[in-house]
Homo-oligomer: A and B are copies of this chain.
Amino acid sequence: MSFSLAEYLQSRRYLIEQALERYLPSPSDRPQRLHESIRYSVLAPGKRIRPILVIAGAEAVGGTAEQVLPTACALECIHVFSLIHDDLPCMDNDDYRRGRPTNHKIFGEALALLAGDALLALAFQLIAENAASVPPERVLPTLHLVAKASGTWGMVGGQVVDMESQGQTVTPDTLHYIHSHKTGALLTCSVVAGATLAGGSAQQIEALRRYGEHIGLAFQIADDILDIVGDQERIGKPVGSDQKQDKATYPRLFGIEESRQRARHEMKAALQQLQEFDEKADPLRALAQFIVERDI
Contact residues of A with B, CB < 8 Å?
Answer: 25, 30-31, 33-35, 38, 81, 85, 88-91, 108-111, 113-114, 116-122, 124-125, 128-129, 131, 136-137, 139-141, 143-144, 147-148, 150-153, 156-157, 159-161, 163-164, 177
Main secondary structure of the interface of A (DSSP, over half): helix
CB of A34 within 8 A of CB of B140, answer no
Copies in the complex: 2
**A144 nearest CB across to chain B (Å):** 4
Task: List B contacts of A136 (CB < 8 A).
Answer: 136-137, 139-140
CB of A164 within 8 A of CB of B117, answer no
**A171 nearest CB across to chain B (Å):** 13
From B33, B144, B156, B161, A128 is in contact (CB under 8 Å) with B144
Task: List B contacts of A25 (CB < 8 A).
Answer: 152-153
**A219 nearest CB across to chain B (Å):** 21
Task: List B contacts of A90 (CB < 8 A).
Answer: 88-90, 108-110, 113
Q: A139-B140, A148-B125 are in contact. Are A110 and B163 (CB under 8 A)?
A: yes
